[in-house]
């Protein structure tokens, strides 16, 4: 194989590694917690403010929709009438949970070896956002802003070794945010603020 063929093989191999990711899931919720989530429904709408990096506000919309807790979740600009609550991404939660040049070198080795040499890294997943009644305007008082922060740290494996984790119930293959357990944790952290949400939805200050 010539240099050109090797380069093509390397590129295709690197592209194929995109799905070779395994991440540690947050711990499972208890049956009692799941029962509370299943019994909770907020008859409200949520408009999500656009983040400077639109990917983060899009991910928040997707995560909130998956919880099935709200009547409607959409971009704030798509509402003809003000939604009940406005959601704002307070901090993007995704990526390496620390800085390490060694991890970056391993990532290169993983690609160069077509996934044979895995990369192990500590990563943070979750959501950090706030909900405020739309009637409060863009600068609500601190007491009117409901903070919801779910953060989970765990090991991620990038490379073919990730597929050996497929049978591990505490590992997710691919994007961890697509896993049911991630959605359950997001829902639980929202349900934990149930009294505040109901208070503000009813017009409380």
Give 202's pLDDT tier (boundaries 50, 70, 90).
confident
The pLDDT of residue 158: 84
CB burial readout 3-40, b (16+ within 10 A) else e: eeeeeeeeeeeeeebeebbbbbbbeebeeebeebbeeb
Q: Which of residues 27 and 202 earns the better pLDDT score?
A: 27
Residue-wise pLDDT for 132-148, tens only, equals: 999 876 566 666 889 99
Q: What span, in angstroms and rounded, lies between the C-alpha atoms of 62 and 31?
A: 25
The pLDDT of residue 7: 45
Residue-wise pLDDT for 42-89, tens only, equals: 999 999 999 999 999 999 999 999 999 999 999 999 999 999 999 999
Residue 201: is it exposed, middle or buried by C-beta count within 10 angstroms (0-12/13-18/19+)? middle
Q: What is the pTM of this model?
A: 0.81
């Amino acid at each position: 194989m010539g240099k050109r063929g090797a380069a093509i093989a390397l590129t295709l191999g690197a592209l194929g590694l995109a799905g070779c990711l395994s991440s540690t899931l947050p711990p499972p919720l208890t049956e009692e917690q799941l029962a509370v989530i299943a019994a909770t429904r907020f008859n409200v709408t949520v408009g999500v403010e656009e983040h400077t990096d639109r990917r983060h506000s899009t991910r928040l919309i997707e995560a909130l929709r998956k919880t099935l807790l709200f009547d409607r979740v959409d971009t704030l600009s798509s509402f003809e009438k003000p939604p009940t609550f406005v959601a704002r991404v307070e901090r993007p939660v995704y990526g390496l949970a620390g800085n390490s040049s060694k991890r970056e070198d391993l990532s290169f080795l993983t690609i160069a070896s077509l996934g044979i040499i895995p990369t192990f890294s500590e990563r943070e997943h979750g959501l950090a956002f706030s909900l405020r009644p739309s009637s409060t305007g863009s600068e609500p008082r601190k007491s009117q802003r409901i903070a919801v922060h779910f953060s989970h740290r765990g090991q991620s494996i990038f490379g073919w070794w990730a597929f050996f984790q497929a049978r591990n119930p505490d590992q997710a293959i691919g994007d961890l945010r697509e896993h049911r357990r991630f959605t359950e944790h997001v829902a639980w952290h929202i349900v934990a603020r149930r009294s505040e949400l109901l208070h503000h939805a009813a017009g409380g200050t």
